[in-house]
Structure 1
Amino acid sequence: MRFNVVKNTVLLFVLVMISCANLSKSEAKNLKSEIIKQNEVLNKIENDSTIIVGANQMESYLPLLKGKRVGIVANQTSVIFKHNPTSSLEPSNDAYSHLVDSLVLLNIDIKTVFAPEHGFRGTADAGEHVKDGIDTKTNLPIVSLYGKNKKPSPGQLKNIDIIIFDIQDVGARFYTYISSLHYVMEASAEARIPVIILDRPNPNGHYIDGPILEMEHTSFVGMHPIPVVHGMTIGEYAKMINGEKWLANGIQCELNVIPLKNYNHSVSYSLPIYPSPNLPNDKSINLYPSLCFFEGTNVSVGRGTKFPFQIFGSPFLNPKLYDFEFTPEPNFGSKYPKHQDKLCHGKNLILTENLKILNLKWLIEAYNNTENKAEFFNTFFTKLAGTKKLQQQIEAGLNEEQIKATWQEGLKNFKKTKAKYLIYK
């Protein structure tokens, strides 16, 4: 670890000297101050067991950016930690600096920031179209990759030599950041632009579960034949996209993954920054893969409350069996919540044990105890499940054990495929 500190210090000192030649005295002073803060990242690491994210390993990727015109796919989670991250999930300038801000200070020639669902600063609702614009802090152009423009166009890439992808994922197939990853890799491969992935831990990387997506049901919430919970980091997943030739016409992207240090898939990881407005804490992130199925039903997952993806309920569930109550109202991250201003009956899952499997019992029980079963599911459910079979199985009265038994052959084959691309044990 001490060797890494020295390497970072020397490299950053050289960069400061180069950059300062083009800056005013005040700008140079600010830059030196920022570099000192960046060095504190490594100096404050307590021991060799601390996970070090890809973004913190500047000695590995800064040389690759020298003299290059850079595009960055980033959001509010794309940060360089100044000391060990905590589990507060509350932004703090004392805890980290944004990758884009840091690279600008280092005089890296950033041309464009590409923003995924929820936007560059992570403030847009789920499903809300993110608009192009200008970042007020850096004056850099922001190009949305959510809405009509999910894939960077040749025109948006024409002045770019290399792309950095640095976004915190949560390890679920229907979380759209891996779909954005696919399209960025595809566009970059077509334009012959290399991609650097700054890897980050998967908070749900400790298990694999769910039905395998059938390719006739592909959408932006599921593009590849994988289970709901895939158990891979975003760097490993990028390698699988490439290796399995899932990009258009089987093309492959020139890929460079900056791996995590001191990480394995059995290590628990508390995200220091919420990855999207409705995943505000560790509990919501752990429950997300199981509760997201409710997004394809008439049941609320708590959007429009203080506890999104930690509770569920509906006006149509039996209040004698579901004694927890809540009323969704518009709030940050949910301008138009399901069942707005209506009393919902459901369950509070905040105190449940963390899941190590995909839980179907809540979904099955809710279906069995709803007022009108014919209106329980909507068309979005099949996209989330990646198959029509799950809805059919629930409607036919199969229990969780029976349904999961039908997944096992697909999961076995996926694990064999996945093993080829793992970076971590």
Structure 2
Amino acid sequence: MRFNIFKNTFLLFVIVMISCAYKTKNEIITKNEPHYSIKNVEKDSSIAVGANQTENYLPLLEKKRVGIVANQTSVIFKKSLTGKNDFTHLVDSLLALNIDIKKVFSPEHGFRGRVDAGELVKDGIDTKTNLPLISLYGKNKKPTKAQLEGLDVVIFDIQDVGVRFYTYISTLHYIMEACAEQNIPVLILDRPNPNGHYIDGPTLKIENKSFLGMHPIPLVHGMTIGEYAQMINGEKWLKNGSQCKITVIPVKHYTHDRFYSLPIRPSPNLPNDQSIKLYPSLGLFEGTNINAGRGTEFQFQRFGAPFLNKDVFNFNYTPVSNFGAKYPKHKNTMCYGKDLKDEELNGVMTLKWVIEAYQNSTDTSKFFNTNNFTKHAGTDKLQQQIEAGLSEETIKATWKKDLDAFKLIRKKYLLYD
């Protein structure tokens, strides 16, 4: 008995010391995660994510039956004896501390983050921990009463990228709604938003609500998961205006105007900083018949299609089946388009590439997948504006009123400067 108490106390001490010492200035290495290599992050060395602050949330988990919404980004960073940085998964760390984890809920792309975009995630058992895995991207996107039964608290710890159609914030909504209905508190371990330094894009019109966008917010919302959870509650966006009891563990030393490079790939097709910066702009191609780099090693860093004018676009590539894209658009077919891997774009989303591609299609009837494009844009007006030949400047001017209104609402829920 005394040994167990000593063991648990020692483990707690080790993880707390790891949390306090966390820095990402040096080269970081991974173990057994070939697709999710961690890289050097020089511009955010003092940032400590919520998960690293174990001293602030372990007391909230003692003697509780815990569920966790997590994926490959749900890690505690640590410094090894060699001076290099490493990490442990949050689930593994909590189990080592004898926290009573009952089940793991997995979002789009799955618990280990290897499932293609849009592909259903199956229930199962995690082979490493033997914990039951409950999919929130399969038969149901909202946890059922039965799936939440026996839990005292649910942890939400997933890295977001701050774009409305990136589905983790929709998963957050459904977790909060289901937990509010069952009177289960949600503990949110916050992480920085790599696109958190600006707000841009069309605002979703509620008649276009889908899992690709559930709330009347701009395409780029400029909030962390913790801030966004507060907005969901405060604006009473949950069913019947209910509110979920949430506790947010904020990120230390983070501000919205500070650059943050993601240490771990947040999903299969966002491999690096460039793809994450371009994602708000190139993500609109998901609602068209244009390939946005899926099926290559430069996802969301290029675009192309067989029907784009090759006299205008002299760059070409051929998408193939690969990790994260078994069936990319125009698989095994030569695509003409543009290489954007060296494009400088920061603090803004642009329509110039969508407009350029549309205007230089040899057959514009093939361009839009109307229903899907409207879900991504959040409004049917954007497609109409592009088809009418309006300039980017003219289109963006129509967003200003909604963006200004959103900024006032957002201000009420910010946790960081």
Normalising to structure 1: TM-score of the pair?
0.90
1:81 aligns with 2:77: yes
1:49-75 CA distance string (max 9 Å, x none): 711100001111100001100000000
Amino acid of the structure 2 residue aligned with 1:189: A
1:419 maps to which residue?
411
Q: Deviations over 1:228-257 (max 9, x none)?
A: 000000100000000000000000000111
Name 1:89's counterpart in structure 2: none
Q: Tell whether 2:346 aligns with 1:355.
A: yes
Give 2:351's aligned amino acid.
Answer: L
CA RMSD of aligned residues (A): 2.0
Deviation at 1:46, TM superposition (A): 8.6
Whole-angstrom CA distance in 2 between matches of 1:214 and 1:46:
40
Equivalent of residue 367 in structure 2, options 376, 384, 401: 376
Alignment counterpart, residue 266 of structure 1, candidates 252, 257, 268:
257
CA contact (8 A) 1:79 1:99 kept: yes
Query: Secondary structure at the residue paired with 1:139?
Result: coil
Q: 2:18 is matched with which residue?
A: 40
| Per-residue Cα deviation, 1:157-207 (whole angstroms, up to 9, x for no partner) | 111000100000000000000000000000000000000100000000011
8 Å Cα contact 2:124/2:132 also seen in 1: yes
Check conservation: 2:102, 2:151, Cα contact below 8 A.
yes
Q: Distance in 1 between matches of 2:270 and 2:354?
A: 19
Task: Please name the residue that 1:250 is paired with.
Answer: 241
The CA deviation at 1:94 is 5.5
Q: Which residue of 2 aligns with 1:10?
A: none
Pair 1:104-2:95 in alignment: yes
Between the aligned partners of 1:18 and 1:317, the Cα distance in structure 2 is 71
In structure 2, what is the Cα distance between the partners aligned to 1:54 and 1:267?
A: 17
Q: How far did 1:42 drift?
A: 2.1
Residues 295-340 of structure 1, C-alpha deviations (whole Å, 9 max, x = no match)? 1111100100111100100101111111111000000100101000
- How many residue pairs match? The answer is 395
- What residue ranges of structure 2 are gaps of 5+ in the alignment? 26-43
Going from structure 1 to structure 2, the CA distance change for 1:273 and 1:194 (only over 3 Å counts) comes to: same
CA 81–402 in structure 1, closer or farther in 2 if over 3 Å, else same:
same
Match of 1:391 in 2: 383
Matches within 5 A, 1:22-421: 28=7, 32=10, 36=14, 39-43=17-21, 45=23, 50-83=46-79, 95-378=86-369, 379-421=371-413
Alpha-carbon distance change, 256 to 338 in structure 1, aligned in 2, over 3 angstroms = same
Aligned AA (2:90):
L
Contact in 2 for aligned 1:242/1:252 (Cα 8 Å): yes
Q: Distance in 2 between matches of 1:195 and 1:37?
A: 22
Distance 2:376 2:293 in 1: 18
Counterpart of 1:82 in 2: which secondary structure?
A: strand
Secondary structure of 1:228's aligned partner: strand
What is the TM-score of this pair, normalised by structure 2?
0.91
How far off its partner does 1:354 sit?
Answer: 2.8
Question: C-alpha displacement at 1:271, in angstroms?
Answer: 0.4
- Higher mean Cα deviation, 347-356 or 73-82? 347-356
